[in-house]
Structure 1
Amino acid sequence: MATSGQKEPIHVVITGAAGQIAYSLVYQICNGEVFGKDQPLILHLLDITPMLGVLQGLVMEIDDCSIPLVKGVVTTDNEEQAFKDADAVFLVGAMPRKEGMERKDLLTANVKIFKSQGTAIDKFAKKTVKILVVGNPANTNCLILAHFAPSIPRENFSCLTRLDHNRAKAQIASRLKVSPDAVKNVIIWGNHSATQFPDVRSATVNVNGTDTPVYDAIKDDQWLKSDFISIVQKRGAAVIAARKLSSAMSAAKASCDHMRDWWQGTKENEWVSMGVVSDGSYGVEKGLVYSYPVHIKNGRYSIVQGLPVDDWARELLDKTQKELLEEKTDALKATSSE
């Protein structure tokens, strides 16, 4: 119960809560970096039964951080308990891709998880809940989740492409030897996969106090249209090759960035990348979960309209859409064969 003058606590759910990404995520959320320094919260940590002991260790650490915003922690392997009255949900838990596993096999394994969680969210979460799918394949997991949560508005579902967005900003900043916050309005189109289209044709970089188009600042169209795109597309694989583990700290930071902006808004004339349910913008099939540039105000995003799409860009937008359509077909097939 909130005391006089204090906000009511919000209920924040993290699935796969015993995992690496969640471990980096929890402190940022509890410390007010996502929902605000004055927003108390109750954490709901969901994982599979064998991980409940690990979650107890995580609760001890949360206690030991002594963070005033944390008004309670629920640990559970039960979806009803996890999603009850949820205001915000980070769906981090998913079946990881194992060596030799085809993307199709990964989709089939994840359909079970996201069908079950979608059904539970539909029944137990608030209808205003904001949902972020982090677990891969994120776009299609999000599509399945939404399919099984029909009473939640479509605009409340999203998936993480902010990590790719942050990676794109970092590559441009590194190339120009500026701070990443000098770079704005990069775009990630499409799938969080190697077909995504990192696009800087509308991006600018602040050099000596002046916003300059990235193409003019870098003066190397060939690099921007080939190596840059390839580096961002394959960055996840490069991290795994070097670290022998998938991105965790950067994925957690991107998840926080995504939810913070969705909760608190973006700056005027700036946009970020979010995987959202397509309304048909830019010729993308309605209902697909596709990454777009979005502007956010009062907790609602709107897809940025009217950006130029030439033949080169159209081909890249269509290529990633084609992959998502194939994934959708495979995933829906898997739900009907369950």
Structure 2
Amino acid sequence: MADVIRVVVSGAAGQIAYALLYSIAKGDVFGSDQRLDLVLLDIPQMLPILDGVIMELQDCSLPLVNSLTPTADADEAFKGADAAMLVGAMPRKPGMERKDLLKANCRIFQAQGKAMDQFAKKTIKVLVVGNPANTNCLIAQRSAPSIPKENFTCLTRLDQNRAQAQIADRLGLPTNKVCDVTIWGNHSTTQYPDALHAKAEIDGVSTPVFAAVKDDAWLTGPFIETVQKRGAAVLAARKLSSAMSAAKAICDHMRDWWFGTQGDKWVSMGVSSDGNTYGIPEGLIYSFPVCIQNKQWTIVQGLEINDFSRKKMDTSAKELAEEKDMAMDFLNA
């Protein structure tokens, strides 16, 4: 057994965490021989519910779980933490404008960033899930200056999984036969699901998705719109937001970050833009295609960007820049 690692999940009493915690605890994320101290962080009024979640995890009788700690104290939660999945965030309520949502989340992620800065390991890997995920990630990152900025990422793997599934369904293939679909930009309706560089394995032969699908109009229209609006479609049908698929994507993202990507295949992650890659301004948390080795991500270089892609990518970057400006105003107020 590997040394015990300390893993924090915020919003731990919520429905996404309820779908997520079992997978973490049984080894789907950090490995089948990795013992875990699981820390369940939520607001004070959710602690009674966390007690029930703790009881269920105990009753699962999972040998990798070394300890279970429910808490509403961020300082306590992040002390010595090796990894954090920040699922909890202020949801958008009826009548709430985007700036109001950003302001509420600024306070949450600023406080958590400061707690990580002071108490977490400097090697902590942080995945922000709570929306608006890209800008919440930026706030946490800016609030923890002693932790390398590349240690903060946000979740766009759910969007990638959705896109991959749409293409696989169209081609009648298992989803693992489709790879290198890219999500560019914001985890919002401006995101750009890009199949231009994606490949499908058909009868053992790797084929460009555009050549395999043979329907450019679908790949540049309904396919993109379906992925962009999939969360709203799930909410309309289920009367609850995506939980099972979000939990699966969180596991995929963290497992790949922990163990690396395979060969020359890439995955999508919201990461810090350096201002020199694909024309995206510096300082945004923007979704790029990345490869990962030794727990370090690198942006895939040299992909051809056509005029259609350029416009989509810039639209999402513009939205993220506006969110960043609003967030910085709140942080500096």
1:97 aligns with 2:97: no
Q: 2:313 is matched by which residue type in structure 1?
A: L
1:242 to partner: Cα distance: 0.6
1:59 to partner: Cα distance: 0.7
Residue 80 of structure 2, aligned match among 43, 65, 85: 85
1:333 aligns with 2:301: no
Residue 212 of structure 1, aligned match among 207, 215, 231: 207
What whole-Å deviation, never above 9, does each CA across 1:259-316 have from its counterpart, x for those lacking one? 0000001000100000001112111111110000000111111000000001111111
What whole-Å deviation, never above 9, does each CA across 1:165-198 have from its counterpart, x for those lacking one? 0000000011111110100000000000000000
The unaligned stretches of length 5 or more in structure 2 are none
1:117-156 equivalence runs, <5 A = 117-156=112-151
2:34 aligns to what SS in structure 1? coil
- Which residue of 2 is the match for residue 108 of structure 1? 103
What whole-Å deviation, never above 9, does each CA across 1:98-140 have from its counterpart, x for those lacking one? 1222222111110000010000010000000000000000000
Q: 1:48 is matched by which residue type in structure 2?
A: I
Give TM-score scaled by structure 2 length: 0.99
- Which residue of 2 is the match for residue 3 of structure 1? none
Alpha-carbon distance in 1 for matches of 2:228, 2:96 = 20
Residue 311 of structure 1, aligned match among 307, 323, 326: 307
Give TM-score scaled by structure 1 length: 0.97
1:246 aligns to what SS in structure 2? coil
Alpha-carbon distance in 2 for matches of 1:307, 1:248 = 32
Q: 2:314 is matched by which residue type in structure 1?
A: D
1:89 aligns to what SS in structure 2? strand
Paired positions, count:
332
Alpha-carbon distance in 1 for matches of 2:252, 2:26 = 14
Alpha-carbon distance in 2 for matches of 1:218, 1:47 = 45
The unaligned stretches of length 5 or more in structure 1 are 1-5
Q: 1:16 is matched by which residue type in structure 2?
A: G
Alpha-carbon distance in 1 for matches of 2:237, 2:2 = 44
What whole-Å deviation, never above 9, does each CA across 1:192-238 have from its counterpart, x for those lacking one? 00000000100000111111100000001011001100000000111
CA RMSD in angstroms, aligned pairs only: 0.7
1:292 aligns with 2:288: yes
4+ residue runs of structure 1 moved beyond 2 angstroms? none
Q: 2:54 is matched by which residue type in structure 1?
A: V
Q: Percent identity?
A: 61
1:335 aligns to what SS in structure 2? helix
Higher alpha-carbon deviation: 328-337 or 263-272: 328-337
1:145 aligns to what SS in structure 2? helix
Q: 2:146 is matched by which residue type in structure 1?
A: S
